[in-house]
Structure 1
Amino acid sequence: MPDERSVHDVWAVGAAYEAYVGRWSRLVAREFVGWLRVPPRRRWLDVGCGAGALVEAITEGAEPSAVLGIDRSTGFAAHARRSVKDARAAFGVGDAPALPVASARFDAVVSGLVLNFVPDASRMVAEMARAGRPGSTIALYVWDYAAGMELMRRFWDAAKERHPEAARLDEGDRFPICAPAPLRALLDAAGLSGVASRAIDVPMHFRDFDDVWSPFLGGQGPAPAYVMSLPEDDRAALREGFRRMLPVEADGSILLTARAWAVRGSKAGRSAR
């Protein structure tokens, strides 16, 4: 078992993130944007924009007037800037608990797959609300690490089978906030109204086991960082244990489900629009 201090929640390289979960988060982002039903020609802010999946979903599905994506990682912000080919989208560097934006500027303030990695979740939501105009939509989503995000759930089950101490790194254990009740409570505590939550399920289709395993060698995120911290023999053993956890079709393909929990609310007051 590696020293826990050597395993970090690493998020910096956009291409590695895309291979790991970015391709699936894009499917969730599209469903999430449709659920919000923000009117067209509105200003959006994406907090912790990562590689740009949610910004892209907004530009493609919400007819925004402008979208600003903010991420603390310069690598992610640069990747998103290169990837999202839309003149309405802009990107900057900043931290979720201290957003570098003026108050009451945006009609929709959103975030995807970020909340659980922020040390003070309530502070992040308060900052999102600060950035929103009266009547704005404040919303976010996170993976259902405890059950419905099958890729990560099966991985950590395999890791703990070999090293029970890996439970300290398992996102399902580390992030109890990633469930409907605590997410709704967080938005309620921020003074938002009309708080609602829902599950968003998307299919994960892998060509074969290599298509599943290769992204775990990219080092982006807790599970890949854990894999790369292991000695080679332990890594090989985990690889085979993980393979046994997966449902393999007759043609070698693997079908899983990725579930995210989404929550939304409205900032008090009426929009000037």
Structure 2
Amino acid sequence: MVASTRHDAWQAGESYDAYMGRWSRPIASRFLNWLEVPEGLDWLEVGCGTGALTEAIVRHCAPAGVTAIDPSEGFISLARARVADPRVRFRIGDAASLARMSAASRDVAVGGLVLNFIPDRVAALADMMRIVRRDGVVAFYVWDYPGGGIEFMRTFRTAAVELDPEVRDLTQNSRFPFCTPEGLIALAREAGLRFPECMAIEAPSVFSDFEDYWLPFT
């Protein structure tokens, strides 16, 4: 019997952080600045990953409490180590588990860089809306793949397609064509969100040298 030793970056928190976490942290802060909600609210975070958005919520929003869920044990473990705040409760769970949460039990429901990985996005957003109280806030952000978002990854994928055209269907803009301002607004409306708004949030990704750029891809 042959045992598989394939590295699973979706369970290894440190690997994911080197690849994506260092860019998602500045985006999280900018997202909360745009959201501009009051302090002292109860939050739900769907797909918390290694805790970039969770950490920003604690730092900038003075929440009464945060329930943060993610299906990856490795990500949750790292998030717990990084965000040791008694107001935050990390749980293993995915968007499908939202159906078990009580209605009107949170003030804000958010998801950072996760919606494109959820199979039934409309159902997830509808559940988030059900969970927030009257006049609550549901908000999310994803990379604008079709519009050239997350440019360092796009550069890699473009080079890969030039070397092997057969990998074209694996590029993020092919896999997630809805990740555009128009697509996200349409998705929000389909889920029943009232008065959806969308804006661009940008942050630079600066590398010290090629090795700094290349290592996360390995």
Distance 2:172 2:163 in 1: 17
**1:201 counterpart SS class:** coil
TM-score, normalised relative to structure 1: 0.74
Moved over 3 A (4+): 7-10
Partner of 1:182: 183
**Aligned residue identity for 1:186:** L
Q: CA offset at residue 148 of structure 1?
A: 2.4
Partner of 2:163: 162
Please give the residue correspondences for 1:1-273 in structure 2 after superposition, counting only pairs within 5 Å: 11-99=10-98, 100-146=100-146, 147-217=148-218
Change (3 A) 1:186 1:10: farther
| Segment of structure 1 superposing worse, 186-195 or 155-164 | 186-195
- Does the 8 A contact of 1:98 with 1:127 survive in 2? no
Q: CA offset at residue 32 of structure 1?
A: 0.5
Distance 2:14 2:85 in 1: 19
Q: CA offset at residue 191 of structure 1?
A: 1.8
**Aligned residue identity for 1:31:** R
Question: Percent of aligned positions with the same letter in both sequences?
Answer: 47
Q: Which runs of 5+ in 2 are unaligned?
A: 1-5
Aligned Cα RMSD in Å? 1.6
Change (3 A) 1:9 1:164: farther
Distance 1:152 1:67 in 2: 31
Question: Which one scores higher on RCO, CA 8 angstroms, separation ≥ 6?
Answer: 1
Structure with bigger gyration radius: 1
- The superposition leaves residues 143-186 of structure 1 with CA deviations (integer Å, 9 ceiling, x where unpaired) of 12221211111111000000101111101111011111111111
**2:124 counterpart SS class:** helix
Distance 2:130 2:10 in 1: 26
**Aligned residue identity for 2:185:** R
Q: CA offset at residue 10 of structure 1?
A: 5.3
**Aligned residue identity for 1:148:** G
Q: CA offset at residue 97 of structure 1?
A: 2.7
- Does the 8 A contact of 2:9 with 2:16 survive in 1? no
Q: Which runs of 5+ in 1 are unaligned?
A: 1-6, 218-273
